[in-house]
Chain A
Amino acid sequence: MAENKGVLVCGEVVGSKVAAITAELLNAGKKLKDELGQPLFALLIGKDIEEGAKEAIILGADKAYTIEGPAFPDALPEIYVSLVAAACEKLSPSVVIMGQTDMGRDVAPRLAAKLKTTAVLDCVALEVDPDTKVLLQTRPAYGGNATAVWVTESQPQIATLRPRSVAAAQPDTSRKGEVESLSIGIDDSAVKGKLAETVKAEAEGIKLEDAKVIVAGGGGIGGAEGFESLKELASLLGGTIGVTRVPCDEGWLPLTLEIGQTGRIVAPDLYIAVGISGAPQHMAGCSGSKCIVTINKDPDANIFKESNFGVVADYKQAIPAFIKKCKELRSS
């Protein structure tokens, strides 16, 4: 077998710009490139991606490859996978990284199966073992209870990187690099189904991932009405609200607000957890917060161990008093 070489970033574009995750992947890729001593490539699939390809070079790619074709999410995943697989066969990279996004989490396992290798999803850190030169892929396991570092013993080593786990690459407009359009045709035999509809639920207000302040409520809130005071607090602090799995299961609030392993991963400056016990599956989504403040009536709740400040109290009495004092402090 020919030796695999190069780090390939499977990018995503939004309009004519590369997506935020792609800039992060390029930054992660630059580090791997240095550690491996191998070139960094970017692959972009879509329409009118010339601009994006140039941007990928400015952000650190040595060479950008483009494939003219349907872009995710409008493309059927099987088409997308067959294009990426064909590109991998052509380029024989040793490492392929993509984002843990709607695209990556669907495409990476299929790609791995096609290329007879494996994939390690949702990595939070990627580095090269200096001795063996293999990719060390760090990811949470057991619902956030454990951290596992995997190595892949087949080629290419495919990983997806969790958004915001690495800073975005900084543009360097002096960088030069070639853009090459790969002529890979769409393999119609790969097409199995059809995509009937893509619906984006417009998030109201601040996106959880962008919020500086999150007031999160859990099962202890006891019902939809209880969230009114949390919403008031959130808007007072210029933030937004989030929830654990329980309020979603109970139908108090939608699953789109769920924070945790299977929900959103957030890292605000301030995370106020109210009526939340601190299950690892939940903490996996908020443990990156700068300051965690807990209000819970059970002094033994696990979440206190993972908080910076805590009050042992019933939220029904604590929150109104907290809101009142915050208002006073803010107006003084």
Chain B
Amino acid sequence: MNIIVCVKQVLDPDIPPAKFRVDSASKKVVPPEGIPPVINPYDAQAVELALRLKEKHGGKISVLTVGSNGADKVVKHAISMGADEGVVLSDETFEGSDSFSVAYILSKAIEKIGEYDLVLCGRQAADWDEGLVGSVVAENLGTSLVTLAEDAEAVDDGLKVKRVTLDGYQVFVVPLPAVVTVSNEVGQARLPSGLGIISAARRQIPVWKAEDLGVDPSLVGSTAARRKLFALSVPARERKCEIIEGETPAEAATKLAVRLREAGAI
């Protein structure tokens, strides 16, 4: 089974909240110094699912990312996990693209690769948390689509995919090629192996530009975006915390109960 995984580089979602800043005037997130961006965790999980499918059914795993300088790092991360190859899709004209343009660029690259059975995306990119790109790629390619997968396996008539729902799950059987978006329920992504890291570091990751892909410049970049940011802020979630103290943890907890009773909370 030949699998293409779309991976995005994002601001590390595990940064301490105190380090997260936005510039409301320019409506931009200010990347914290000294904290390098990472592969979107859901995309690492998509690579994980791809690796499990490859272990069972054979085939090749290619990864694609739309990004600028340094985006080869996430491709290398996927390769160090066990993916076979990858490409960075990068062009000045791509700057400021929205989900639809990114999906368009990815679809062009997928068509250029040509031979594929399955495209895996993350359920959402942990920066803007939009959850759109995978569905749009499927629409562009005209393939079947299952969102929010927690598991998948190849069957005679295609791919059997378990989709997470709020109170359970659904099982779909879809013909290949298909696009599947992967949810965190697939489980933790494996860490890159030492050997994987060394061999990935040596790899030269090819870059495909707009003209290599046959991308129409009027359909990408900020001018083509169908949605624009109107405002960006950090939500005010702070509360005034009353710390209840005591000689011992037990005493503090006892006082807490009394205080909550007074406050009418219990």
Contacts and interface: CB of A to CB of B under 8 A. Distances in A.
Chains A and B come from one and the same complex: yes
A235 interface: no
Interface stretch (B83-91, B172-180, B205-213): B172-180
Interface in B160-180: 160, 165-175, 178
Given A113-B140, A153-B227, A102 B235 contact: no
A314 B249 contact: yes
Interface string A195-233: 111111101000000000100000000000000000000
Contact of A153 (B99, B147, B228, B258): B228
A311 B244 contact: yes
A265 B239 CA distance: 19
Contact of A279 (B17, B140, B166, B250): B17
A167 interface: no
A238 B135 CA distance: 41
B127 interface: yes
Nearest to B166: A102
Contact of A270 (B185, B248, B265): B265
Contacts of A280: 17, 20
B198 interface: no
A145 B168 contact: no
Contacts of A26: none
Question: Interface size for chain B: under 10, 10 to 19, 20 to 34, or 35 or more residues?
Answer: 35 or more
B250 A308 contact: no
Contacts of B165: 73, 102, 198, 200
Interface string B11-33: 10110111010100000010000
Interface stretch (A3-11, A172-180, A317-325): A317-325
B229 interface: yes
B116 to A, nearest CB: 16
A143 interface: yes
A331 B69 CA distance: 65
Given A196-B173, A317-B248, A329 B166 contact: no
B20 A145 contact: yes
Given A302-B18, A322-B253, A322-B254, A149 B239 contact: no
Interface stretch (A31-39, A51-59, A60-68, A287-295): A287-295
Interface in B121-163: 123, 126-132, 134-136, 138-140, 143-148, 158, 160
B195 interface: no
A114 interface: yes
Nearest to B187: A249
B252 to A, nearest CB: 5
B24 to A, nearest CB: 10
A195 B18 contact: no
Interface string A129-149: 100000010011111111111
